[in-house]
Amino acid sequence: MLDISKIIEKYKKQYHAGPKPAEVIEQPLPASNIVTAGVVSSDKKERFSSAVSTLYAEGLNLAKRIYRLGLEIEKKLAFSTEGLVDKIIQELNTEKKELLALFFRDTPPGENYLCCHALNSCILSIELGLGSGFNAPKLQEIGIAAFLHDVGLIKNADIIMKTQPLSPKERAILIEHPFSGVEMLKKNCPSIPTRVLGIIEQVYEQCDGQGYPRGLTAGLIKEEAQLVGLAQVYETLTHTRPWRERFSPPLALKEILSQKEKFNSFFLKLLIQRMGFYPYGTQVRLNTKEIATVVMVNPEAPFSPTLKITLDNNGRELEPARIINLAETRGAIYIEECVTF
């Protein structure tokens, strides 16, 4: 079993010079708090199967219809979302992890990030739900809730795209948006299950009572909402926002672990096990100065994934590439930093 306290201590030793923690939950951050240390970007062109790429594109198109045009336009919203969630569940319920690599594609500059955020939060929530052993109906509920959890912000895109601190009025709108979203869904999509609405209303609550809109503590927050809440925080950190650059996956987890009291400990351990500190598809530099890509996460050794080494220490391409399980090197070979993700 993973021990969160041991993970934190190991991270402190390995990344003691990391950036000062910033607010994870509130948005946007003041410009003076923008964190750039440890953030990386990628220009490489990954190759994914056509089926997975098509599924991701389908999800993004649906999110754009909802978050750009509004719920009134999408009359068949419930059916469309349920169908998409079913396909994502089927894809993630295999050994393939390409969809989790697509999760890390960033929002193009200047675009409303809610579309990608909705789809990515849905993908990660389902992945964590599968790891929790949730049955099909519950996976459906968390998938739909994750995809629609920010519909209350549709009419306030100007607020979420700000680069400066919110005014008291804007902050009030942000705090109330889970309520607004639920009311919009009740009005426009009456077939959305009540349980899904209950999850959406609580996604931004936190276990320590510092969340919103009601400031509930752990015992009063639905477990499904705690799961989706953690997934959307991880998604937020690992993607660019108008007020800051994105965090690399290990720094995103460091940030979350520094505020672990806000999250369900079981789901936090599950996030580490399913995604690792270096998720599938992450490109890393080793202490040997070789470049490698993560091809498998080791659930019991989140710092030590299985890698495909593609470039030698002089930057020359290896043919064939070499596969190595870092957990079997006993610390002789380890990851120094993310290069791209």
**pLDDT per residue as tens, the chain (341 positions):** 555 555 555 554 554 333 333 333 434 322 222 232 333 334 344 567 889 999 999 999 999 988 877 666 555 676 789 999 999 999 999 888 899 999 998 888 877 899 999 999 999 999 999 999 999 999 999 999 999 999 999 888 788 888 889 999 999 999 999 999 999 999 888 889 999 999 999 999 999 999 999 999 999 999 999 999 999 999 999 999 988 999 999 999 999 999 999 999 999 999 999 999 999 999 999 999 999 999 999 998 999 999 999 999 999 999 999 999 999 999 999 999 998 76
Are both 139 and 195 inside the same structural domain?
yes
For position 7, what pLDDT does the model report? 56
Domain membership of residue 8 (yes or no) is no
**305 contacts 296 by C-beta, under 8 angstroms:** yes
Domain membership of residue 247 (yes or no) is yes
Tokens of 205: 């609550």
Domain membership of residue 183 (yes or no) is yes
Are both 219 and 333 inside the same structural domain?
no
Are both 271 and 287 inside the same structural domain?
no
Of 223, 250, 275, the one marking the end of a domain is: 275
Domain membership of residue 50 (yes or no) is yes
Q: Of 336, 281, 270, which is closest to residue 303 (Cα–Cα)?
A: 336
**Within a 10 A sphere around the Cβ of 320, how many other Cβ atoms?**
7
Are both 255 and 205 inside the same structural domain?
yes
**307 contacts 323 by C-beta, under 8 angstroms:** yes
Are both 246 and 319 inside the same structural domain?
no
Are both 228 and 296 inside the same structural domain?
no
For position 128, what pLDDT does the model report? 98
**180 contacts 152 by C-beta, under 8 angstroms:** yes
The CATH number that applies at residue 229 is 1.10.3210.10
For position 68, what pLDDT does the model report? 78
Residue 228 backbone phi and psi in degrees, to 5: -65, -35
Of 252, 275, 298, the one marking the end of a domain is: 275
For position 21, what pLDDT does the model report? 35
Instruction: For residue 198, give its domain range.
Output: 19-275
Domain membership of residue 128 (yes or no) is yes
**222 contacts 196 by C-beta, under 8 angstroms:** no
Q: Angle, nearest 10°, between helix axes 50-69 and 114-132?
A: 120
For position 17, what pLDDT does the model report? 36
Domain count, the chain: 2
Domain membership of residue 270 (yes or no) is yes
Are both 208 and 325 inside the same structural domain?
no
Are both 267 and 120 inside the same structural domain?
yes
Are both 326 and 242 inside the same structural domain?
no
Distance of CA 21 to the CA centre of its chain: 18
Domain membership of residue 5 (yes or no) is no
Are both 261 and 292 inside the same structural domain?
no
Domain membership of residue 241 (yes or no) is yes
Are both 197 and 139 inside the same structural domain?
yes
Of 236, 257, 275, the one marking the end of a domain is: 275
Are both 180 and 97 inside the same structural domain?
yes
For position 10, what pLDDT does the model report? 56
